[in-house]
Amino acid sequence: MNTHTGIDATIVALERTHGGAVAHVELRGGKGNILTAEMMREVRYTLAGLAHDHTVKVVILSGEGNHFSFGASVAEHTRELAEEMLREFHGLILDVAKLDLPIVTCVSGMCLGGALELALSGHLIFADATAVFGQPEITLGVFAPPASVLLPLRLGFARAEELLVTGESITAARALEIGLVNKLFDDRDALRAGTDAWIEKHILPKSASSLRIAIYAERLPMVATLAATLPRLERLYVEELMATHDANEGIQAYLEKRAPVWTDD
């Protein structure tokens, strides 16, 4: 049960503009806006409140500072904490995917790992030229469950598999080229202004109730796929992956700031 009585604005900030029709949700987790379990819970709580407010027409998701987010906390990926972390994270991803509101994720700087999965579970991704995208999990000896579902759905298998198998990061220009990013702006100020202008032109003139129904309709197949597949991938991660030497070694090596020593087991 969620026992929150309000949003912790030091972690997640909510601001309403345009007469309440636009909800700005900002991650506030320090330099890298790391997605800790606590931040995930705050984002879920914030979105749950918006889900029942029928004056909202669109959500803008962004990160405070120079980076959207470095991703989920690696320290919470250890064998002891992985199951709880994945449960919370997958709950967040499903909450975002099921929200009957268009979500525009605005990305500056790093958008890696769980941060990219969070963006993928929304609708549109707008970025500025500083943005960098990637799913580096395989370089730590693990994999990205939500991205394993969402990247192929959004990009097709060929492009998705390149990102998932190599763990390489791509520039904002490349992300636009392959269809990961919908709109690209020169800098953070242009990103903010351009997002506002796009929303004022394409979203605000529309019926809030019709938008919600349209979003629900177009999301049905994706939500059904996520809901059916994530529990299986969660078990694969916790019961099989985290039983291997290399998955634990990759996480520990990252935390100790050293190169991993793989045994291929």
pLDDT of residue 10: 83
Interatomic CA distance for residues 97 and 145, integer angstroms: 14
Output DSSP code: residue 69. Answer: B
Q: What is the CATH number of the domain that holds 251?
A: 3.90.226.10
Token pair, residue 86, equals 């994945």
| Residue 146 placed within a domain | yes
Q: Tell me the pLDDT band of 219, cut-offs 50, 70 and 90.
A: very high
Interatomic CA distance for residues 12 and 4, integer angstroms: 13
Tell me how many domains the chain contains. Answer: 1
Interatomic CA distance for residues 208 and 190, integer angstroms: 26
Judge contact between 199 and 56, C-beta under 8 A. Answer: no
| Residue 9 placed within a domain | yes
Where are the alpha helices (H) located in the chain, listed in sequence order? 37-51, 82-98, 114-121, 145-155, 157-166, 172-178, 188-202, 208-235, 245-255
- pLDDT of 22 > 60? The answer is yes
| Residue 192 placed within a domain | no
Query: Pairing between strand 58-63 and 103-107?
Result: parallel
How many Cα atoms are found within 13 Å in the side-chain-facing hemisphere of 107? 36
- pLDDT of 17 > 70? The answer is yes
| Residue 193 placed within a domain | no
pLDDT in tens, 114-124: 999 999 999 99
pLDDT of residue 229: 97
| Residue 108 placed within a domain | yes
- pLDDT of 232 > 70? The answer is yes
Q: Tell me the pLDDT band of 205, cut-offs 50, 70 and 90.
A: very high
- pLDDT of 1 > 60? The answer is no
| Residue 227 placed within a domain | yes
Tell me what percent of the residues of the chain surpass a pLDDT of 90.
94
CB neighbourhood size of 5 (10 A): 6
Q: Tell me the pLDDT band of 3, cut-offs 50, 70 and 90.
A: very low
Judge contact between 69 and 112, C-beta under 8 A. Answer: yes
Tell me which residue of 56, 75, 61, 67 sits closest to 29, measured CA to CA.
Answer: 67
| Residue 207 placed within a domain | yes
The average pLDDT across 159-179 equals: 97
pLDDT in tens, 94-111: 999 999 999 999 999 999
pLDDT in tens, 34-66: 999 999 999 999 999 999 999 999 999 999 999
Provide the residue range defining the domain that includes 93.
1-187+198-265
| Residue 16 placed within a domain | yes
